[in-house]
Every structure is written in structure tokens, then in C-alpha cells.
Amino acid sequence: MAHFITSRLASVCGLNGLQSRKITYVKSFAPRPFIKRLKPKKKFDDAPGRLKTEVGLMNARKQIKARYPRERKISDQQAINWPDVWPGWAPFRATTVPFPVRMGMRRQRLRLPNPVKYANPELVKLPNFLHLTPKHVETHCDAIKHFCTPWPDSFDDVDCGHYFPVQVTSTDYVFAGSSIKRPEARKITLQINLKALKMPDETKQKFYTLAGELLNRDTGIITIQVDRCPTRKQNTDYALYLLTALYSESFTAEDWESNLTYKDMVDHDWKVSPSKGSVLRVIKAVSKEVDSTTEDDLLQRKVVIDYGKAVDNLFNASKDTDMDEVMDNYRTAALELMGYSLSRRKAIKK
Amino acid sequence: MLITQVSLVRRSLSTSVPRCKKVSGRFRTTKNRSRALTYEMAKKPSDIGVSKGWNISQTSALEGERNEESGTTARALFEELFVRNFLQGTWHQMHVFTPVIKRRLNQVHICLFLRSVHGPNINVVYFLTGYTEQMLSYILKCPVKLYVQIIKDRPVYKLI
């Protein structure tokens, strides 16, 4: 191999301009051949545990002979069954890969040799995926397939959310080194949708107050992140305990909770708001019925209830709500409360 | 009379203008082009990543890898140097190129090119492979696998 390259180099190098210099070419990197003693020293070589040196130069040369490269022996049929030839990860072996590959940069194509795959460490340095060809993947999948059952079609995201409301997320880490310990692996995130927790409206308000930032009001997902315990299992148990505590605490009503004012409310509640008082005054002023109707009757009127809902929507609107719709709703509710309905107004105008 | 010139007596090193020349990883040319270089030797250190690959592949220097407690990058480097020294001593005069070390997960894969050497027979290669794998796996506390390829000789890329 080395001889071939140097002879080609010599012919192609263009030595015409260098004729005046005496040039000696190095044929290869091989050192001068090590000539062994022809008659081994008996006492030294016959001692137990020693390798017996071979006699003669020719025999010495044959001792590590390069194997006949498999790629020349391999038949097409064998090569087609590539998973048998290259079963698992292995560094690039020029003598096993049956196709020619070149690896190396040579700007001067005429002067420099072809960077073939033989004795090319650059190819070994790179990662190769000869153990993951489509044929390999197919064979692996076929081997595992009969253990698998198809995913049930009826089991979609909605069902998943219904049957498995609690989602626990944990991360596993991979590291190339002698230690597999990862302290970050004990951290877990527990997520549950508010819809999965059945609570009446009053307890919901308390839940919102207790949960605070754990609850995302727009999506309704409660997120609890725990990493205070040394193991992952302990952290999941603690997270579940926190959730249970939150839920049960929101049901217990303390005595002082009945003294909650308008400012303590998380969501705007029209029934506790100053707007309710002013609405009742306005109705009494506008309507011609005098004192015969009580406050409770007034509050049960559809017009008043609708107005209350519209005001609540206005205050409780999140970023995603369409404000035009909410404002429109409030406008109609307010006008109807005052005794004007839009359709009637249009009729009057006409 | 004014003293216009004040000479300060100083003790300092006598220096010359520094010669800014890169000499690392480069081979000196000979008069008669008798120095043969392999591809790896011919490419300069500035060509690493461009036309030359890395001899070691590991992930200890990636962003986010914890280094404060265990010093994993430093340990990986130290182990690499030790492994190379070990290989140089064990496979004395037999190896051809710099051994390529690949770390994947827990394992260490070492890819070695050997030259067919006059003298020892193939049993020596088998023994040394086993010996290297055992010794290194005890020392590095990782499974070590050695991949040996025997070639006739280093291909000549350039004559200098």
C-alpha cells in the first residue's frame, strides 16, 4: 500500500525542476527489518515461561499477518443481510465494510494520495451508524412486534384526562462517565386540571386563595414542583400529600370566613359588591312600583341576574377573553336593566 | 544650574522583540524531502475541526454538565492522559496512530491501530488486549473495550 502510493507520488510530483538536487525517497515508515539470531541460545530460550523465538527471517515476518479482508470474501447475498455482518456498534473497520469510502481533504488532487479507507484514523474518529441501517431497525422492530398490542382507538386525550387526571413528570439523565449519580433526577412536577377536582363554588374561591401561584387560572392546571426529599418516590408522595391538603383545607370553613368583605374576594362576586346596592337603588328610582316588592324579589328578576353576571364577566375577564363581546354583553344588560331594550329603541327611532 | 536630564537606574530583563511564530504540531522540512508525514501529522492544529477529527469523543464538557461538585471534565481529561500513557507503554512500538478514545455512557471504547511487528506472535496481541481491558476497567471503574486493527504500515500523505 505504501509502496504504491510513493511510486505514484514520485511519478506525479513533477520532479523536472529538481534534477540538480540529489533526492532520496523514503519508501515507507517501516524501520529497518529486525534480523533475528539464526541460532537461538538454548539456555535462555528453553527456560520455562518464555516464548520460543522463531528461526529465520521469513518466519518472523509471517507472525502477525494481516487477515484476508472480509470485504473481498463477502458475497452479495451476505452483504445484503447487513445486520449479520455488523450486528452492534463497532468502530469503522475498513476490511469489513464492502464499499469504498474516502475520508480526508486534499487540495492538490494531483500531488496528494487518495485518502482511502484503509488505515484511515479519520474514519474511526467519526461516529458511524452502520449498526442502525433501515434493515437493522426493521429486524429489531419485527422481533419486538409480536409482544406489542395496538393502541386502543377509543382512548384519546379526553379519556386520558378523565381516567388519569394526575400527571407526574420526572427527568432521567444520561451521562458518559464513571458516575451515574444525578441529584437533579429526584425533582418531580405534579400536574392536575381543576376540572378533575369536584368542588362547589364557595370552596373553589378558597382553593384559589390557598393555591395562589400554583394554579394557572387561564388553563386551570395546578402545578406542584417538589425536590425537597432525597428520593423521587418521596417527592411524589409529598406532592400528592400537598394536593390532598389543599383540597381538604378548602372544604373546611372557618368561623371568620363569614366576615369576608368585597376586597377579600379572589373572583369578583356581584352579590357582595357595592354595585348590587347601587343597582337596587336605581331600580327603585326608575321603576314605578313602590316598596311593594322586596329586595329578594328584585334580585330574582332575570334582568338583575343578567346584569350581575355581566359585571362579574367584566371583572373576571382574563387575557384571552374577547373584550368586545364582554363589553357588548355588559352594554345590553345595563340598558335592559334601565328599561331600554335595544330592539325597542330601534323601533322608537324608526 | 538646572539638571535637565535625570537618569533613572533600573533593574530589568534585557529582552528582544519576540518572534511570533507558531511552531506547535508542525514538522520541519528537510532539504531532500526525506521526512514522510501521515495525514494526521501533516494537518496543523488549526485544522482540527476543519479537516482533522478529535481523538477523543466525550460529553463531559457540554453545557449543563455538573462540574462544581465532582469535577467531571477534569477527571475525564486526566483519565484520557493516563489511558494514552498506559497504551503507549503496553503496546510499545506496535501502535501506529494515536489511539481514538470514545466514551459512551458508562463504557470506554479504545480504537487502536497496530503495525505488524516482527517478533511477537498473535497470542501476544490477544494477551495484551485482555490485559489492557482488565487493567483499565479496574482503574477507570468503567467497562473498557479495545478494538484492534492491524495494518501493514502508515500511509504516506506528504513528503517534507
DSSP code string of A247-277: HHHHHPPPGGGGG--GGG-SS--GGGSHHHH
Across chain A, mean pLDDT equals 78
SS3 at position A235: helix
CA dist., res. A33 & res. A233, Å (int): 67
More confident residue, A108 or B2: A108
Q: Does A264 contact B at CB distance below 8 Å? A: no
Contact B160, B41 (CB under 8 A): no
Q: Predicted confidence band at B43 (pLDDT cuts at 50, 70, 90)?
A: very high
Contacts of B75 in chain A (CB under 8 A): 177-178
**pLDDT over 90 at A43, yes or no:** no
**pLDDT over 50 at A6, yes or no:** no
What is the predicted ipTM?
0.82
CA dist., res. A91 & res. A295, Å (int): 87
The number of C-beta contacts closer than 8 angstroms across A and B is 153
Give how far Cα A44 sits from Cα of A48, A51, A53, Å.
9, 10, 11
Contacts of B46 in chain A (CB under 8 A): none
Nearest CA to A201 out of A276, A275, A268, A274 is that of A268
In this complex, which of B53, B104, B153 lies closest to A176 when CB atoms are compared? B104
Nearest CA to B149 out of B103, B107, B104, B109 is that of B109
Q: Predicted confidence band at A261 (pLDDT cuts at 50, 70, 90)?
A: confident
**pLDDT over 80 at A36, yes or no:** no
Count of CB atoms situated within 10 Å of the CB of A152: 8
Contact A162, A156 (CB under 8 A): no
Nearest CA to B142 out of B116, B97, B106 is that of B106
**pLDDT over 60 at A39, yes or no:** no
With a CB cutoff of 8 Å and minimum separation 6, the contacts of B131 are B90
CA dist., res. A291 & res. A252, Å (int): 40
CA dist., res. B88 & res. A136, Å (int): 37
Q: Predicted confidence band at A124 (pLDDT cuts at 50, 70, 90)?
A: very high
Which of A11, A55, A64 to probe the B interface (max B CBs under 10 A)? A64
More confident residue, A326 or A156: A326
Q: Does B60 contact A at CB distance below 8 Å? A: yes
* Residue A277: predicted pLDDT: 86
**pLDDT over 50 at A5, yes or no:** no
* Full strand arrangement of the beta sheet holding B107-115: B56-57, B100-104, B107-115, B144-151
- Proportion of chain A above pLDDT 90, given as a percent: 26
With a CB cutoff of 8 Å and minimum separation 6, the contacts of A38 are A55, A56
Question: Residue B6: which region, alpha, beta or left (left: phi > 0; alpha: psi -120 to 50)?
Answer: beta
Nearest CA to B96 out of B107, B87, B83, B108 is that of B87
Nearest CA to A199 out of A247, A128, A133 is that of A247
What mean pLDDT do residues A177-197 have? 86
Contacts of A34 in chain B (CB under 8 A): 118-119
Contacts of A121 in chain B (CB under 8 A): 40, 53, 97-98, 100, 111, 113
What mean pLDDT do residues B132-146 have? 94
A226 to chain B nearest CA, in Å? 20
Q: Predicted confidence band at A152 (pLDDT cuts at 50, 70, 90)?
A: confident
* Residue A175: predicted pLDDT: 74
In this complex, which of A36, A119, A126 lies closest to B151 when CB atoms are compared? A119
Segment among A21-35, A300-314, B59-73 with least mean pLDDT: A21-35
Across chain B, mean pLDDT equals 84
* Residue A45: predicted pLDDT: 43
B114 to chain A nearest CA, in Å? 10
Residues A308-317 pLDDT 10s = 889 988 888 8
SS3 at position A170: strand
DSSP state of A306: H
More confident residue, A159 or A208: A208
What mean pLDDT do residues A19-35 have? 54
Stretch 137-156 of chain B: residues touching chain A, C-beta under 8 Å: 140-142, 147, 149-156
More confident residue, A115 or B16: A115
What are the cell numbers at A169? 413528570
Q: Predicted confidence band at A348 (pLDDT cuts at 50, 70, 90)?
A: low
In this complex, which of B39, B66, B102 lies closest to A122 when CB atoms are compared? B39
CA dist., res. A323 & res. A317, Å (int): 8
Segment among A61-70, A182-191, A215-224 with least mean pLDDT: A61-70
Stretch 170-199 of chain A: residues touching chain B, C-beta under 8 Å: 174-180, 183
What's the distance, CA B49 to chain centroid? 15
Nearest CA to B157 out of A349, A28, A69 is that of A28
A317-325 — which CB contacts under 8 Å span 24+ positions? A318/A217, A318/A218, A319/A218, A320/A218
Contact A286, A339 (CB under 8 A): yes
CA dist., res. A42 & res. A22, Å (int): 48
* Residue A288: predicted pLDDT: 63
Segment among A179-188, A189-198, A321-330, B63-72 with least mean pLDDT: B63-72
CA dist., res. B63 & res. B146, Å (int): 29
Which of B152, B158, B160 to probe the A interface (max A CBs under 10 A)? B152
CA dist., res. A82 & res. A87, Å (int): 8
- Proportion of chain A above pLDDT 70, given as a percent: 75
Q: Predicted confidence band at A142 (pLDDT cuts at 50, 70, 90)?
A: very high
What mean pLDDT do residues A210-237 have? 92
**pLDDT over 90 at A190, yes or no:** yes
What mean pLDDT do residues A284-291 have? 65
More confident residue, A61 or B51: B51
In this complex, which of A1, A24, A105 lies closest to B152 when CB atoms are compared? A1
Which of A4, A26, A186 to probe the B interface (max B CBs under 10 A)? A26
Can you spell out the DSSP letters for A198-224?
A: ---HHHHHHHHHHHGGGEETTTTEEEE
Stretch 89-118 of chain A: residues touching chain B, C-beta under 8 Å: 89-91, 93-95, 104-105, 112-113, 115-116, 118
Nearest CA to B65 out of A184, A189, A230 is that of A184
Q: Predicted confidence band at A139 (pLDDT cuts at 50, 70, 90)?
A: very high
Stretch 85-104 of chain B: residues touching chain A, C-beta under 8 Å: 96-98, 100, 102-104
B118 and A60 within 8 Å at the Cβ level: the answer is: yes
CA dist., res. A204 & res. A197, Å (int): 10
Segment among A12-21, A100-109, A211-220 with least mean pLDDT: A12-21
* Residue A343: predicted pLDDT: 61
